[in-house]
Every structure is written in C-alpha cells, then in structure tokens.
Structure 1
Amino acid sequence: MTINMEQNEKSNLENNRYVNRARLLVKCSDKPGIVSALSTFLHQYDANIIESNQFSTDPEKGMFFIRIEYYSDNLPLKAKQMEKEFEKIATEYQMEYHFYYRNIRQRSAIFVSKETHCLLELLWEWQNGDLETDIALVISNHETARSMVEALGIPFYYIPANKDIRQQVEKEQIRLVEEYQVDVLILARYMQILTPDFVNHFKNRIINIHHSFLPAFIGAGPYERAFARGVKLIGATSHYVTNDLDEGPIIEQDVERVDHRDDAEQLKKIGRQIERRVLVKAVKWHLENRIIVEGNKTIVFQ
C-alpha cells in the first residue's frame, strides 16, 4: 500500500467521524439579537453548539463576527434545507456567511521554489494528520523538491517561471489548480511575483509566508537588509496575497531575538525556523475556518 493510499484511508475515516459536524462563520453590522437568532436557528434543527467565538469592533457602530461549530444528527440530510432557511436571517441582518462541513476536506496546492523547509514542515504536519486538508499537488519552478513530494504519492509539477513567461506559466498553474479542484493555495517560499489576474482568481485563498516581520523589509533580501540595519528582532509573517506586494491581510507573525554576533547567514537560519511554524499555524487556522477577512485585516478565532 502506498503512502498516498494510506493517507486517503485516513482522510475517509476522518470524514466519516465528522459527518454530522459543521462550522458557521458570520460577518455583519453589530446590532441586538444576532446571537439569539443564530442560537434559535440551530436549535430548530436540533443542533448542539460545540464551540462559539464572537467579536465586535464597536457595540454601537461596529462590525460583528462569530464562528460557531455545531453537531446535528443526520446533518447531510438537513444541510441544504438549513442553508435555504438561513437565507432569511442573513437577509434580515445583512450577513456575509459561510457553512463549512467537517466531512468535506479542503484540497490544497503547495507552491515552492528552491528552499524546502516550509514545504517539509507542511508535509510533516499532513503526515501526522494535523492539517485538515488533502494535498492535491505541489507546483515548483525548480526540481529540488520532486523526490520528497513524489515519495509521499503527491503529484509534482515542474513549471519553469520567470517574468518573461509569467502569463503563460500562470495559465498552466490555474489549469492544474482547477483540474485538481483545489480550495487553497499555499506559497511555501515560492519566490515568484504573482500577476493581478492570478491573485484575483483566488481571492483570500492564497496564503504566503514572508521572511520578515512585516511591514518591515518588504520584498526581496529581508535578512540581508535586517543585518545591515542591526535589528535585534527578526521574524516572519504569513498573510493572504493581494495585488499589493507583501501587504495582504496578516494571519500570523512571530519573532526571535538576535544580536550583533549573528551575521546574515545566521539570521536566515533562525528565520527559517520562524517561517516554518508561522506558515503552518496560518494554514491550520485557514483550514479550520478560524479566519474572517475584514478589509486588510483578519479576525482570527483561536
């Protein structure tokens, strides 16, 4: 039995385990009665609330955000009717909302270049069963990661990329992503700038890791610039990709203290450790439906 077949069996077991569990994410203007309306609605379908987290930016004029995870017997038979009935509440409160069903795993595509530390961390978490996703494929503009990816039974696609053939490359990437029915794209140190057309095609579905504590040292070579500046803290930032380079909604950040004895290469070594853990956290939270994007910020329910 191949590793990929073993992973598929694990996925099927997880899907069956969570067949009656779902999550509901809601964003709307704050006003009295929202929580009551949601609770009453779920109660009508014999749904038991397992976890509920909410946040309001301002009780008088602000926005309201909530994430609810619930259990309901025979949920697959009720789901369509529940969604149809929920439209009335959504209209009344002018809600943006989404139902996520735990037995339907999101499918991901990982994009990587030469450096493989973030890719390896994602593969390790996936093998452990700690990522709620099926890794559908890996796409790279280098051959470096092929053997480690294909050893796990994951399709690997080598697509050379540079600024002169960018549109042609992205057309092929979009074709593959759609063919594999991918839900989320993970840039695990994929060192290519994406075009606006590509980004717009996958709005709030591309997660990047930037090797700097943004907004400091945007763009290329942040560790060299950090060393030249004599910083005492270095970090990494995971964010959703927008058409503003390295300025998309931030999901997670972390830092490590450094000092004058650390040269640029040592900063990179420390930085790689930060990048790995920050990217994995961000991807997990996305897959667990813990993130709501509001403008250029995120609400992250932990």
Structure 2
Amino acid sequence: MRRRKLHAYAQALGSPSYLAIGDGPIGDAEYARLLDRIARRAPRGFALQFGSARRVIELGLLGHVVLSCSTLREVLHVWLSHAEAAGELVRVSAQVDDEAGEWITTLYADRILSAAARRFCVEELTATFFAFCHDVTGDSYADFIAEIEHDAPPCLTVPDALQASLRFGCGRNRIAGPSSVLNRATTGRDDETFSLLLDQLAHVKPADGVAARCGALGQSLMNYLLLGHSRVPSQGDAARWLGMSKRSLVLRLQGEGTSYSEILDDYRRRYAMALLDEGALCTKQIAHAVGFIHENSLRRAFRGWTGVSIGAWIRARN
C-alpha cells in the first residue's frame, strides 16, 4: 500500500528524482523520510488537492470491503478496525454521540514524522476523508467542519471537492459533523461480498505474482477488476475508467512490464483461490464471480495456474 501511494505521489509530481523508491519493504522510518522529501518540495496545497482526488478503490482489499458496506456507520467501524492495513502514519479515532447529535474524528500524526511531513499528511488525510465519504455515498458534506493545527500556507487554493468548512490554526486536527450522517446508505451495498471480503481482510497476505511487481497503473487496474464482480470489463472499458485511451493503457502497462491479459489472468487466479479457500460458494458461482461464462473454463484455468485440479487443491488445503 505504501509503495502504491508513493508511486501515485511521484506520478502527480511528475516523477521527481528526489523520490527514489527502492525495491525492498518500506518500513516506518523510510516511509517517513520519503514523506518529508515530498512535503518539503511539493507545491502549496498539493496535499489537499491529492487527497481530494483519491478513491476508496486505492485501498486495495480494505477499499473493496468499504465499498460493500451498507451504511457510513459500518464504513467507519471497518476503517477504525483495519486502518493499519492502509499503512498510514496518521492514526484516526472517532467519537460518536448520538444523543448530542455529534460525530468527531481526530487525527494523530506519528511522532516519527517531521513537522513538514505531519502537516502534509494531515492535510491529505483530511481531504481524503471527504473524498472517501462522497465516494461511498454520493452525498456532499458541507455541514462538516475540518480543523487543522498548523497555519494556512500563503496563497492556498482549497479544492472544490473539499466541501467542508476548512479552518487552520486550531487546537487539534479533527473533523466534526452531525452523527445523523452515519446512517446514510452507501451506493455499493453487497452483503455477500462484504462478508467474504471482510473474512479475507482478517487473513490478508502479501501479494504475489503479477500484483507484487506491477506498478501503480497495474495496481489500479487490478482493483478495478475486483469491483466488476460478475462482469469482467473489456480493455476499452478499463481504459475509459482510468481516464486514458486504449492505446495509452497498452503502452503504459508495457512500460510496467505487464499487460491487460496478464493482469486479468492474475486477478482471476488470486480471487478464485481466495473464494475457494473461503468455501462459501460453489465452483460455478466462483467461475461467474471472476468473469468466466462456464465452470469448465475456470477448471481449465485453475489447472494451468496450479498444475492440479480444483478438487485436488481443496483436498490438499484441508
């Protein structure tokens, strides 16, 4: 998740030379150092703009769980329970007082962050909060107040997507609004998918295969495929969703050393194996879930992925 986020920063900033991302795991200290570099060199207001443009889908498996929640209250519970999966160095806590009709979310920046990085992360996460809320409900949040400890930078332009009232120079970093908002329904409610993905999130493992080596665009495409559920989008559909032409998608994926068909095959492999491991769906249902028209297509593909039949794989797992 951290690597994906840093690649997104680099892309938005024009791939600067100071943001050199190594190949190994990105620990807290290394992540804090890179965030400091970004915060000191990024244009004023970049963090707010970047956060306002984020999508829930960028959170990978956690994002898919959030998108299948039924209400914003459920989203908040999932986020607070599994926020560490996103790898942020800003912790979030929430207090909900239904009697007083108030909902307060407080942001605590990790002490490992420099002052510049703390300012950057708080601004970005504040804007991301409203972007994500709008993403899952489609509603606006103009009745919320976002408070930030540090003073406003000069010549700051607040993005239109940040609909809340933004105040700088406050006593703490927090977001406050009416608790009735928590009862708003989400647009992607899917109880069966929610249960399956939530169980997977509890046993999340490092990515392997294509997902482990593809870049930011490949990761975005992988996440988009998971959103499709029973319908696998065409390459043209994926290109339009990603905001580019089909040719640009092909060339950029080639630059990352992969292709649409390779990512689609890896998506099907990972998701089918996760659902088989879960055991709640039959083989035919799983075939449809990962976009195969016929169950036999899944069985042939599975033997190609693993070298064994689905039945033999399940028996070995058991």
TM over 0.5: no
Q: Which has the higher contact order (CA 8 A, sep 6+)?
A: 2
Report the TM-score, using the length of structure 1 for normalisation: 0.24
Q: Which has the higher strand share?
A: 1
Report the TM-score, using the length of structure 2 for normalisation: 0.24
